[in-house]
């Protein structure tokens, strides 16, 4: 079965990583053609992708040349399913589907507001990365029969506990220091500033916060840390490619987002047996269970965040409890195997 993946995005985030993880683990009966923009991070990483990665400038949906070229490509390669991921490639995919009779599967990766259900209802099926995303699309007016939830699968062979202590060695952090970490793009919705405020309130504890990632708020966050005189408590590492190797160094993983479709970084931390403290928003409530892998707090509530962090900082037994159960929770609910199995079943069903 030949599948065409269309991706307009230039970036390298949870959306792109999920798609590659799926592609790379599909059964051999599926052959994937992956059309990406020539200047995208995906094209730069083409050697990591088990697909024919094709650079193509996805011009606006009304561009006849773009549509004509892709219609010919779809017919020539006997494409059965067109898979889309965001607004621009979704509209293009719907047009191509109508012209070629290929089935269109739209994946909704985000929880940001939508204005219209039309592009979703034109697709044959809409895959949601969490129940919360599915609920929001249903409220928007997307037909219920088109919606299905398939959770993002975590590569538990890559993300697993280790004893490397790579981060602690690099930044000379002793084993007695409770190491708290966040892995996220440095933008406002991730609420790094709330976490910094909580660390200021907890500065008398033997803790260190690692802010891992890059993004538009980098300079602002550096200024806040300096103004609060927290340089000895907070380290900004910048972007890193070795996340799977350093997560196990953390004693607590924290994600205080104000909006999150799921929270893949939480799942990766849990797969590495790291207890989680996260905000009670969006799909996060589906990947943090207080009897399994961590604690939830009210979003933007610094008092609640501080309290939940302090509980895990001071209560080693609680940390050990979550550490013991976190990975099992991921293996049972968020494995790559399960994501691939459900997606393949959907593909087979849709072309019957």
Q: Would you state the pLDDT for residue 14?
A: 84
Burial class (CB in 10 A: 0-12, 13-18, 19+), 301: middle
Nearest of 69, 107, 235 to residue 167 by alpha carbon: 235
This prediction's pTM: 0.86
Considering the segment(s) 2-153+335-350 as one domain, its CATH architecture is 3-Layer(aba) Sandwich (3.40)
Q: Would you state the pLDDT for residue 215?
A: 94
Q: What is the DSSP letter of 341?
A: H
CB 68 within 8 A of CB 96: no
Q: Would you state the pLDDT for residue 38?
A: 96
Topology match between the domains 2-153+335-350 and 166-333: yes
CA angle 69, 25, 158 (to 5 degrees): 125
Query: How far, in Å, CA of 78 to CA of 125, rounded?
Result: 20
Phi, psi of 39 (to 5 degrees): -100, 20
CA-to-CA separations, 277 to 126, 289, 292, 343, 347, in angstroms, rounded:
30, 10, 12, 30, 36
Query: How far, in Å, CA of 126 to CA of 133, rounded?
Result: 11
Q: Would you state the pLDDT for residue 12?
A: 87
Q: Would you state the pLDDT for residue 112?
A: 87
Write the CB contacts of 320 (distance below 8 Å, at least 6 apart in sequence). none
Helix axes 316-333, 264-271, angle to 10 degrees: 110
Please say whether the dihedral angle defined by the alpha carbons of residues 273, 48, 332 and 334, taken in this order, is positive or negative.
positive
Helices then strands, each counted (H, E), the chain: 15, 13
Q: Would you state the pLDDT for residue 11?
A: 87
One DSSP character per residue, 67-111 reads HHHHHHHHHHTTEEEEEE-SHHHHHHHHHHHHHH--EEEEEE---
CB 39 within 8 A of CB 65: no
Q: Would you state the pLDDT for residue 196?
A: 98
Please say whether the dihedral angle defined by the alpha carbons of residues 250, 248, 45 and 43, taken in this order, is positive or negative.
negative
**Dihedral of the CA atoms 252, 333, 25, 81 (nearest 10)?**
-120
Q: Would you state the pLDDT for residue 58?
A: 87
Phi, psi of 79 (to 5 degrees): -70, 130
Query: How far, in Å, CA of 92 to CA of 260, rounded?
Result: 26
Burial class (CB in 10 A: 0-12, 13-18, 19+), 101: exposed
- What is the dotted CATH code of the domain comprising 166-333? 3.40.50.2000
CB 259 within 8 A of CB 236: no
CA 300 to chain centre: 21
CB 106 within 8 A of CB 146: no
Helix axes 316-333, 302-314, angle to 10 degrees: 100
CB count, 10 Å around CB of 348? 12
Q: Would you state the pLDDT for residue 284?
A: 96
Mean pLDDT, contiguous 10-residue spans, the chain (352 residues): 96 90 96 97 96 91 89 98 94 96 96 91 97 96 97 94 96 97 96 98 97 96 98 97 97 97 95 98 95 96 98 97 96 93 97 89
Q: Would you state the pLDDT for residue 272?
A: 98
Domain boundaries, the chain: 2-153+335-350, 166-333
Query: How far, in Å, CA of 209 to CA of 158, rounded?
Result: 24
Write the CB contacts of 311 (distance below 8 Å, at least 6 apart in sequence). 295, 318
Q: What is the DSSP letter of 37?
A: -
Q: What is the DSSP letter of 209?
A: E
CA-to-CA separations, 214 to 239, 244, 262, in angstroms, rounded:
5, 17, 20
Q: Would you state the pLDDT for residue 295?
A: 98
């Amino acid at each position: 079965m030949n599948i065409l993946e269309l991706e307009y995005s230039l970036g390298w985030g949870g959306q792109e990583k999920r798609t590659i993880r799926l592609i790379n683990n599909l059964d051999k009966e599926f052959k994937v053609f992956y059309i990406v923009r020539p200047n995208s991070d995906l094209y730069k990483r083409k050697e990591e992708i088990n697909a024919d990665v094709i650079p193509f400038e996805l011009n606006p949906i009304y561009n006849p040349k773009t549509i004509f070229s892709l219609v010919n490509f779809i017919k020539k390669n006997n494409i059965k399913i067109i898979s889309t991921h965001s607004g621009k490639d979704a509209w293009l995919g719907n047009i191509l589907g109508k012209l070629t009779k290929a089935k269109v599967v739209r994946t909704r990766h985000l929880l940001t507001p939508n204005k219209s259900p039309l592009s979703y209802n034109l697709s044959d099926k809409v895959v949601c990365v969490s129940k919360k995303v599915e609920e929001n699309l249903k409220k928007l007016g997307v037909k219920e029969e088109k919606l299905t939830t398939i959770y993002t699968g975590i590569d538990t062979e890559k993300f697993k506990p280790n004893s490397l202590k790579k981060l602690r060695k690099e930044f000379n952090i002793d084993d007695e220091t409770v190491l708290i970490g966040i892995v996220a793009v440095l933008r406002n919705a991730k609420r790094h500033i709330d976490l910094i405020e909580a660390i200021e309130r907890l500065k008398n504890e033997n803790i260190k916060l690692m802010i891992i990632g890059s993004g538009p708020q980098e300079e602002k966050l550096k200024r806040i840390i300096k103004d609060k005189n927290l340089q000895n408590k907070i380290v900004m590492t910048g972007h890193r490619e070795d996340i799977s190797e350093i997560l196990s160094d953390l004693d607590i993983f924290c994600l205080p987002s104000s909006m999150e479709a799921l929270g893949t970084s939480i799942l990766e931390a849990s797969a590495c047996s790291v207890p989680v403290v996260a905000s009670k928003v969006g799909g996060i409530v589906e990947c943090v269970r207080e009897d399994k892998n961590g604690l939830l707090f009210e979003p933007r509530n610094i008092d609640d965040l501080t309290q939940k962090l302090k509980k895990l900082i001071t209560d080693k037994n609680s940390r050990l409890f979550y550490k013991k159960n976190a990975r099992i929770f991921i293996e049972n609910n968020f494995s790559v195997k399960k994501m691939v199995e459900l997606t393949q079943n959907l593909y087979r069903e849709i072309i019957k």
